[in-house]
Amino acid sequence: MPLIHGALELPSVLVDDYNNETRERGAFVGDKINKQSFQAKLHDWREVLRGYCEDPLGKNLAEPISKKKMDAIFDPKDVVSMGLAISAVEDFSRDFADVVTKFLSFKPWAKTERIVVGGGFRDSRAGELAIARTMMILRAAGTDVTLAPIAHHPDDAGLIGSVHLMPSWMLKGHNAILAVDIGGTNIRAGIVEFERQKNLIGDARVTASDIWRHADDQPSRSAAIARLVAMLEELLSKAGKLKLAPLIGIACPGIINPDGAIERGAHNLPGGNWESDHFNLPSAVAKAIPTIGGHETFVMMHNDAVVQGLSQLPLMRDVSRWGVMTIGTGLGNARFTNRKPSSE
């Protein structure tokens, strides 16, 4: 049975919108919400601070601030560091609130009740505070939407969400899948174990994983695929007594066509043209790993923000319309409407 990549109708949700690229004055609406923009705001406030006292982040303004170093300035005992951190968070949060407000004005995002926030920026003290402060700004302006940090670590969420791509007919007799998250810096692969609740997937967790920082190696596209296949084969050998479904879920940036081709948005992926008419990632993976547990391998690929958002699905049963925004190198986004569970 053929599976549809980038599907807008999934077992538990409808995907109303994803990878929204609406522009304003020539720029993507979400351009001012990413890790680089927060660093820029921090830079500006450091320049102000240097006019009257020592910069707690060091002498080199041009050096990017690591997550560990950034988290350290949220020190309640150091009012200067805390003042610097709060100033940057406040500016970022106001921009974030503006972006959320604009997204809510888009037709596919109308009546959104909750937005979960993921991506690398969420996994920082600055990110957590920015999410809370942005929600306060929105509520003060009369915007009735809830913002919440994604529950799983963003690295795990990018794998866990793949279980919700799986059709219900594949659930029976299985309790785990292989999943992949391909990004502009890293490729992650893992085994995701899940619990079945009637015809729905309940709790899911990553039980084994591997990560490759391909940005350090700058491989060709074919070398990157070969490394990914090797990671998956190693995970297969670690599956033990788990009952792996014959499915590999892939999260990938960009617009994903039904045949698995990447229409656009994959420009940050390693070496070579991933959007070529002559290249199909799901087909390449299925060819390299033709069977799992004696059954033909199915590969399902979707946008990375969609997949990360789907990891939150078990916690979204109390709302009907919800979205995800992932803050990293850029702003990933997707909007969902929950489907009524079938009576199977």
Evaluated on CA atoms 291, 294, 296, 300, the torsion sign reads negative
Task: Report whether pLDDT(344) > 50.
Answer: no
* Strand, helix or coil for residue 129: helix
pLDDT of 342 higher than 70:
no
More confident residue, 26 or 302: 302
Where does the pLDDT of residue 272 fall: very low under 50, low under 70, confident under 90, or very high at 90 and above?
confident
**330, 229, 215, 242: which is closest to 287 by C-alpha?**
229
Which bin fits 36, alpha (ψ -120 to 50), beta or left (φ > 0)? Answer: alpha
- Averaged pLDDT score across all residues of the chain: 92
What pLDDT, on the 0 to 100 scale, is given for residue 172? 85
Tell me the C-alpha distance between 213 and 186, whole Å: 4
If we measure between CA atoms, which residue out of 93, 246, 113 comes closest to residue 172? 246
Handedness of CA 252, 257, 261, 263 (dihedral sign): negative
Tokens of 123: 């996994």
Tell the residue number behind the tokens 């420009």, with chain if given. 267
Instruction: State residue 173's pLDDT score.
Output: 87
pLDDT at residue 331, as a whole number = 94
Domains in the chain with CATH codes: 23-149 (3.30.420), 160-311 (3.30.420.40)
Per-residue pLDDT tens digits for 60-110: 998 888 888 889 999 889 999 999 999 999 999 999 999 999 999 999 999
A 10 A CB-CB count for 51 gives 6
Bridge partner residues of 187 (DSSP): 182, 212
pLDDT band at 277 (very low <50, low <70, confident <90, very high): confident
Distance CA 169, CA 344 (A): 10
pLDDT in tens, 292-327: 999 999 999 999 999 999 999 999 999 999 999 999
CB-based contact 323:112 (threshold 8 Å) = yes
Q: Would you tell me the crossing angle of helices 281-288 and 221-237 to the nearest 10 degrees?
A: 50
More confident residue, 84 or 1: 84
How far apart are alpha carbons 145 and 136 in whole angstroms? 10
Per-residue model confidence (pLDDT) at position 242: 93
